[in-house]
Structure 1
Amino acid sequence: MTGVPITRTLLHTAGQRVAVEQSAAAVATVLAATGGGESGCDDVANLVLSLERSKERFDTSGCEPVTRGVWATGRHEAIIASAGGSGFSQLWSIDEDGLRVISRWTPSAKEAAAARLLPARHHALTGQVLVHYPALWLAMQQGLAPLHVSVVRIAGVAVLLAGPGGVGKSSLVSREMAAGGRATCDNLAACDGTIAYGLAEPIRLPAELTEPGGRRTYHGRREHGWETRLRSLRPELIVVLRRGLQPDPRLRPITESEATRAIVAGTYAAGELLRFWPIAAALAMATGCGPAHPPVQQVAATLAARLPCLELQLGRQPGAGLTELLHPYLDAVHSDSVS
């Protein structure tokens, strides 16, 4: 990556410093995928993204086939014919300075048709393979693991919300942010067991909970950008969310093994990461760099072993917000911090 001309660093995501080269269209694509950038940030990038206009797939002559649609160049590089079935061909190159990913839109007829007929799917896939997966894979090389969690600071305490997709994490985070809370991510973070580095992505909320506008996405939700987003938070309390049939929410302490299982299971069940696991494994084989699998279990267990763990079973009707529900536990965290 040495000597590559960089336009500017746009944002921090998953603990990585991202820059984009090439066209304004590439910059716009990254911003759309991340919910807004950090223009004017002058940090040295360790992840460089390039979206080329060429419609030709990368030349694989002389390259070693690794698995279906993936080749190794022998220079810590990997070529992927269609990353995650998205229609984007990619060249991944890693060295001591970081990672560079060059992408080209080279879809098959079927992939091009899917992009036209299923725009929400195409938009989500584009963000994943062009921006999010490169950042998460580079984070893996640093010992971090992707976690399907939300992390929000309320009443001065960083709360990690765990649970499967659709359980209500985004709605709770949005409500707390409207009341003055700050968050580092909506659904995904890269974590080492101590600090959670938020993945920069739009916040997705049910249409009935937001003002008109925002891009339509899955499950009747709309995407909205962040006004402010913290780059990272150090979780101090774990709250596992569940949906219940009772009218009111219920809160109870849980063991560290229960919390670990919930974080791990929610991460592997996440649709946002469905295509990440095989891509990460193929990249490890092709580049010869890093682990084939991130330390999800280890990181979740480390978090649960050192933090208080609760389960919040949500009721059928919207009730009190997180700050009110967690009030005594937030006070306890404050007391422990002071002592």
Structure 2
Amino acid sequence: MSAAPIAHTFLHTAGQRMAVEGSAAAIATILAATGGAERDCADLPNVVVAVEPGKQRFGTTGCEPITRGVWATHRREAILDSAGGSGYSQLWSIDEDGLRVVSRWTPSAKEAAAARLLPARHHALTGQVLVHYPALWMAMQQGFAPLHVSVVEIDGIAVLLAGPGGVGKSSLVARELANGSRATCDNLAACDGTIAYGLAEPIRLPAEAADSTGRKTFHGRREHGWETRMRSLRPELVVVVRRGQQADPQLRSITAAQATRAIVTGTYSAGELRRFWSTAAVLAMATGCGPAHPPVEEVAAVLANRLPCLELQLGREPGAGLAELLRPRLESVRSNGVS
């Protein structure tokens, strides 16, 4: 039997130009994880992710053990056995041309069973280790940090929404998109304090806010692709979103320190990044490249000290949308600008 033909596709994610190589099935899996983001790119890629059909783990003979399940080759490549507990073995190589990550599906019996019995978990974890973590790690080499935020442009002003998962950021963004606004992400971005590059992934909406055609995911949500997604936006206003018990939403100004804390704590509590911190650390040890940890707090502080910061405490009912709630503040930013 002849080998399956290799397919290629391209996308922009987290500020990186990514090329994807693999079988048609592997490409379909990756596109599902990127939410139908832009896939035609004339730029040369600086990140290549390849999914190979082989079931054999990468050889580690003569390699330096870094920690359990991680080795460094003599070329300072990193070998990860079951990256993030996903069942994928990976070979990470970085040089002056960029990053290349080769993945093979080599699960243990336990990991294979988990993939069958917990398809939503397997889908999310596959997207993280195959495409999202390579893009975010390459962004780290450029001074960017992953942030658990939404960034949406409302009436020409880019608003960064911060807060923990489940607070309602995605629903707020989806409502503005339905009204003609644009966004670069509703969940994760790579940011340096000035510009935010959205991570290409689906929008995840509560079942009551979406139709029943999207892929089921965690917490009763469904995934939906983007009709359009901006590659990046420059935040001009920070809004920390909280859940309240009062009837109507409330808006107030907060300090830069309060906003910084909300961005940082929301990022570190994000389940999507739980495995990224250790992955970044072992990659730094194995390859000798880049920081062991992204500058999350530094980037959050730059944003909060540079921009006006508000807290939006949502009411029990959906109420007004962001455009209506923020209109006076948007006008102020438009009139006064930001530094």
Q: Which residue of 1 aligns with 2:321?
A: 321
Q: Distance in 1 between matches of 2:277 and 2:338?
A: 41
Q: Which residue of 2 aligns with 1:264?
A: 264
Q: Which residue of 1 aligns with 2:167?
A: 167
Q: Distance in 1 between matches of 2:254 and 2:223?
A: 33
Q: Distance in 2 between matches of 1:9 and 1:158?
A: 29
Q: Is the 8 A contact 1:69 1:82 kept in 2?
A: yes
Report the residue type matching 2:38 in the other structure: E
Q: Is the 8 A contact 1:76 1:95 kept in 2?
A: no
Q: Is the 8 A contact 1:9 1:44 kept in 2?
A: no
The equivalences for 1:108-123 within 5 A come to 108-123=108-123
Q: Which residue of 2 aligns with 1:230?
A: 230
Instruction: Kindly provide the CA deviation profile for residues 14-54 of structure 1, in whole angstroms up to 9, marking residues without a partner as x.
Output: 00001012322222122111001434322100000100010
Q: Is the 8 A contact 2:37 2:228 kept in 1?
A: no
Q: Is the 8 A contact 2:212 2:222 kept in 1?
A: no
Q: Which residue of 1 aligns with 2:278?
A: 278
Displacement after TM superposition at 1:7 (Å)? 6.2
Q: Distance in 2 between matches of 1:22 and 1:224?
A: 24
Question: Secondary structure in 2 aligned to 1:326?
Answer: helix
Q: Distance in 1 between matches of 2:122 and 2:201?
A: 15
Report the residue type matching 1:334 in the other structure: R
Instruction: Kindly provide the CA deviation profile for residues 219-272 of structure 1, in whole angstroms up to 9, marking residues without a partner as x.
Output: 000000000000000000000001011111110000000000000000000000
Instruction: Kindly provide the CA deviation profile for residues 270-307 of structure 1, in whole angstroms up to 9, marking residues without a partner as x.
Output: 00000000000000000000000000000000000110
Q: Is the 8 A contact 2:7 2:24 kept in 1?
A: no
Report the residue type matching 1:183 in the other structure: A
Q: Is the 8 A contact 1:88 1:106 kept in 2?
A: yes
Q: Distance in 1 between matches of 2:176 and 2:147?
A: 21
Displacement after TM superposition at 1:338 (Å)? 9.8
Question: Secondary structure in 2 aligned to 1:248?
Answer: coil
Identity of aligned residues (%): 78
The equivalences for 1:13-92 within 5 A come to 13-92=13-92
Query: RMSD between aligned alpha carbons?
Result: 1.3
Q: Is the 8 A contact 1:9 1:42 kept in 2?
A: no
Q: Which residue of 2 aligns with 1:129?
A: 129
Q: Which residue of 1 aligns with 2:221?
A: 221
Q: Is the 8 A contact 1:189 1:196 kept in 2?
A: yes
Q: Which residue of 2 aligns with 1:251?
A: 251
Distance 1:155 1:62, change over 3 A: same
Instruction: Kindly provide the CA deviation profile for residues 111-143 of structure 1, in whole angstroms up to 9, marking residues without a partner as x.
Output: 000000000000000000000000000000000
Q: Which residue of 2 aligns with 1:192?
A: 192
Displacement after TM superposition at 1:211 (Å)? 1.7
Q: Which residue of 1 aligns with 2:152?
A: 152
Q: Distance in 2 between matches of 1:155 and 1:231?
A: 18
Q: Is the 8 A contact 2:236 2:338 kept in 1?
A: no
Q: Distance in 1 between matches of 2:293 and 2:30?
A: 26
Q: Distance in 2 between matches of 1:202 and 1:338?
A: 30
TM-score (norm 1): 0.97
Q: Distance in 1 between matches of 2:104 and 2:116?
A: 17
Q: Distance in 1 between matches of 2:21 and 2:117?
A: 29
Q: Answer with 22-31 or 105-114: which moved more.
A: 22-31
Report the residue type matching 2:78 in the other structure: A
Q: Which residue of 1 aligns with 2:96?
A: 96
Q: Which runs of 5+ in 1 are unaligned?
A: 1-5
Q: Is the 8 A contact 1:190 1:198 kept in 2?
A: yes
Q: Which residue of 1 aligns with 2:141?
A: 141
Displacement after TM superposition at 1:190 (Å)? 0.1
Instruction: Kindly provide the CA deviation profile for residues 56-96 of structure 1, in whole angstroms up to 9, marking residues without a partner as x.
Output: 10000000000010000031310000110000000000000
Q: Which runs of 5+ in 2 are unaligned?
A: 1-5
Q: Is the 8 A contact 1:7 1:19 kept in 2?
A: no
Q: Distance in 2 between matches of 1:336 and 1:90?
A: 49
Report the residue type matching 2:57 in the other structure: R
Question: Secondary structure in 1 aligned to 2:337?
Answer: helix
Distance 1:305 1:338, change over 3 A: closer
Q: Distance in 2 between matches of 1:296 and 1:95?
A: 25
Q: Which residue of 1 aligns with 2:292?
A: 292
Aligned residues: 334
Q: Distance in 1 between matches of 2:298 and 2:169?
A: 23
Q: Which residue of 2 aligns with 1:3?
A: none
Report the residue type matching 1:237 in the other structure: L
Distance 1:69 1:187, change over 3 A: same
Q: Is the 8 A contact 1:162 1:262 kept in 2?
A: yes
